[in-house]
Amino acid sequence: MAVVASEQYAKSETGSIDSIGRRVLTRVFVVTGTEGEAESDKLRLVLAATGLPGEPSITGVPPVPVPQSSVAVGGVTLYYWGSRSWKREGVQDVWYLTYEYTTSDTSQYATVFAGSVNAGIEEVYRVHPEDALDWDNPSGVDIGGTPVDSGGQKTSVVKTDSKATVTAYRTDMPSISEFDDWVGYRNSNTYRGAPAGSVLYMGVDFSQDATSGLWRLTHQFAIDRFTYHAEQVATADSEGKIVTLPYNADGTSDLIRYVARRVYWVQPFGTTSFAGLP
């Protein structure tokens, strides 16, 4: 008996649209005609409906590769990407194959921008320092402000810890070294509304969606609109010990402590164009 398949039509359709804009449509096919075949061959013959290499396609079941099999729903074209499941009804040779169709055009996948603003901890020598003249190339002058260190040991203070992620989708696999030129650099121009120099690119995570075949890339950024990722550094002697001087906080008491003599800004992160980032 020939193995044949036919689509099972019902009064309703099964589909979904997820949070990233991906459409998913389910189609069900009924496969019969495997009676008399060896049990070890039956599933192979049923799955041959997907047109695997070396296997004959079964009449009526959509083939692969993409995009030979497609359907249009609400003006959007969905393609079969290879996601399928099967069920055998009881002990009879009636098989139900369920095919998932999804949008293949990456424009159907939204680029997602997300962020967070939390309280963080930073170790500093001074609080309320004077504004730096150039965050990209600090002048090296003393930053002023109120000393909070003790004998050259920094003090932890609360700071604004802002982070952002941008998630994008593409069809080709990313290279391991593709984003090396951005990691550890700040934006040389305005990026997503943030001023130049305030956004630091931290790296990217990527993985492949087994259903659609698309690659999901999640880019991480740190945002500092206050000191533009510059760090406080104190002058040290030839042995690496912080040079200190006596400091009286209120100018009247006899309570004197030693603090870093000179504190200046250092900018460890260079700038580059973020034009190639999403």
Q: Helical H runs in the chain? A: 39-47
Looking at residue 50, what is its pLDDT? Answer: 45
Cβ-proximal residues to 226 (8 Å cutoff; 6+ apart), any chain: 159, 160
Higher per-residue pLDDT: 105 or 269: 269
Residue 49: DSSP 8-state: G
Residue 23's pLDDT band (boundaries 50, 70, 90)?
A: confident
Looking at residue 109, what is its pLDDT? Answer: 56
Half-sphere exposure of 272 (CA within 13 A, CB side): 14
Looking at residue 55, what is its pLDDT? Answer: 44
* Contact status, residue 43 vs residue 86, Cβ threshold 8 Å: yes
CA distances from 136 to 42, 58, 235, 239 (A): 68, 65, 20, 28
Q: How many CB atoms lie within 10 A of CB 60?
A: 13
Q: Max Cα separation, the chain? A: 104
Higher per-residue pLDDT: 20 or 186: 186
Token pair listed for 239: 């042995």
Residue 197's pLDDT band (boundaries 50, 70, 90)?
A: very high
Average pLDDT value for residue range 195-216:
86
User: Is the per-residue pLDDT at 203 higher than 80?
Assistant: yes
* Contact status, residue 58 vs residue 31, Cβ threshold 8 Å: yes
Looking at residue 274, what is its pLDDT? Answer: 95
Average pLDDT value for residue range 196-207:
95
